[in-house]
Amino acid sequence: MSQFDVCVIGAGPGGYVAAIRCAQLGLKTAVVEREKLGGVCLNVGCIPSKAMISAASMLHRMQHDASEMGLEFSGNVKVNMPKLKSWKQSVCDRMSGGVEQLLKGNGVDIIAGEAEFTSPTQLKVKGSDSTKSIEAKNFIVATGSRPIEIPGFAYDEKTVLSSTGALDLDKMPKSVVVIGGGYIGLEIGGYLAKLGAEVDVLEANDALLKGVAEKDVVQVVAKNLKKHGVKVHLKAMAKEYKKSGSGVEVKAEVNGESKTFKAEKILVTVGRKPNSDQMNLKGIGLNIDERGFIKTDAQRRTSHPNIFAIGDIACQPMLAHKASHEGVMVAEIIAGQNRVYDAKTVPAVIFTDPEIASAGLLESEAKDRGFTDLKIAKFPFAANGKAVSLMETDGFVKMIADAKTNVVLGVHIVGPEASNLISEAALAIEMGATLEDIALTIHPHPTLGETMMEAAEATLGHAIHVIQKTRK
């Protein structure tokens, strides 16, 4: 039986980070992974989807923006799907290989196979040709989540696709019905539309990204989806499908009326669920809530003090960077440091066109928490020189602050490079910054980052590059 100070189960963005930090702190560490190092994020999620979005955006700009800039092509720009898929896979393989090098370089034992607890201090790992027994003083469960299936739409990854199947297509489908207008559906549906597919999105709610992003932020994305030919159907419930010729017919109830949508493929993106029904977690007495999350305290300890849970399997939000943060934290707790999870905000990004990013409170959340007197203003990308030079002027930076103290409560961005701009907002909220802290910080020109400074000035009521009134 192999013995370790720490055994991490799952080598995704939470698990591999936790394993590396444990090893750095002098703990004898192993990581168990049943599939590929890097987990869902690196192999079938965040990284491949961003690679495909990047390629689709480049194609779209070549087809629609290049001529306006004076760049002319002879002949059409074509999509070579096998080569695109190969390039996407090379990106994933490079990242996964990097994780392996980091783990080995830090002295972490990598064990391939399916883990199952036999007791709170032991587990067995079934590999391709043998089974190993492992004993550890501490375990970190970081086994993530998987796509939710809905009745009547079982995944076969040929006709009915999960996000995994949609990121591994050999041939570009002519048409796709996307069930679910959340961030995964809009990201994948958006890039498929740019690559030439006809896309219908069926969303059960009366709005896209309801409760996830500010309404005015979503409106910008919804407008662009329409411009790119994506048809969004709200209050739409998919009921069943049947094969029809080389494609499918999806029956749905839209606003109380029965409608049929014809397509070549179906993509189901209605959310993800924790993998807490695996590894005999209940068998060893771990407490799991009604949503499938392992119950933990502020240090991510479970009902067994030597077993920790991080990432998607522990709690919302299901985001890679939150899992990585928890991984470092738990490693340091095991090593004897006094830490708890006390982040003020976990920034979130949706890679639509344009991108959406947020940190802190939504306007409605701020009011629910008792902030009845707010300062709120926007600064548009159309007034930013760098955005104009990029021909990407849709969107704005929206800032929300407590009117009594000017402390920044929330920042919501829709526009170019929102994913990169939001880090400044996350730092500001984490450190309790005021509007003046951002407005009086000199930002370089010409950059998209200036929009943060300008938004702070606008929220204070004295914007320079836009005529505005502060809304309370």
CATH code of residue 164: 3.50.50.60
Could you give the CA distance from residue 363 to residue 116 in angstroms, rounded to a whole number?
44
Q: Are residues 84 and 16 in the same domain?
A: yes
Clarify whether residues 225 and 354 are in a common domain.
Answer: no
Residue 466 lies in a domain: no
Q: Which of 219, 250, 270 is the last residue of a domain?
A: 270
Neighbours of 358 (CB within 10 A): 26
Pair (307, 210) in one structural domain: no
Total structural domains within the chain: 3
Residues 20 and 126 in one domain: yes
Residues 6+ apart with CB under 8 A from 76: none
Of 270, 290, 314, which one is at a domain's C-terminal end?
270
On whether both 125 and 143 belong to a single domain, the answer is yes
User: Does a structural domain hold residue 100?
Assistant: yes
32 in the same domain as 171: no
Q: 402 in a domain, yes or no? A: yes
Look at residue 228 in the predicted model and tell me its pLDDT. 94
| Residue 358 belongs to a domain | yes
In a domain, 175, yes or no: yes
For position 469, what pLDDT does the model report? 62
| Same structural domain, 29 and 142 | yes
Q: Check which CATH number belongs to the domain holding 384 and give it.
A: 3.30.390.30
247 and 295 together in one domain: no
Which one is catalytic: 325, 412, 443, 445? Answer: 445
Residue 134 domain-assigned (yes or no): yes
* Residue 340 lies inside a defined structural domain of this protein: no
CB 242 within 8 A of CB 120: no
Q: Are 370 and 399 within one domain?
A: yes
Verify that 302 and 370 share a domain, yes or no.
Answer: no
Which range of residues forms the domain containing residue 416? 348-460
Residue 271: per-residue pLDDT: 95
The answer as to whether 168 is a domain residue is: yes
**What's the pTM value of the predicted model, to 2 decimals?**
0.95
Of 248, 270, 292, at which residue does a domain stop?
270
- Averaged pLDDT, groups of 10, the chain, 472 residues long: 96 98 98 97 96 96 94 88 96 97 98 97 95 97 97 96 96 97 97 97 97 96 97 98 95 96 98 97 97 98 98 97 98 98 98 98 96 96 98 98 98 98 98 98 98 97 83 53
Query: Looking at the structure, do residues 168 and 265 belong to the same domain, yes or no?
Result: yes
Amino acid 465: pLDDT:
95
Backbone phi and psi for residue 184, each to the nearest 5 degrees, phi listed first: -70, -45
What local confidence, expressed as pLDDT, does residue 183 receive?
96
465 counts as catalytic: no
| Residues 35 and 140 occupy one common structural domain | yes
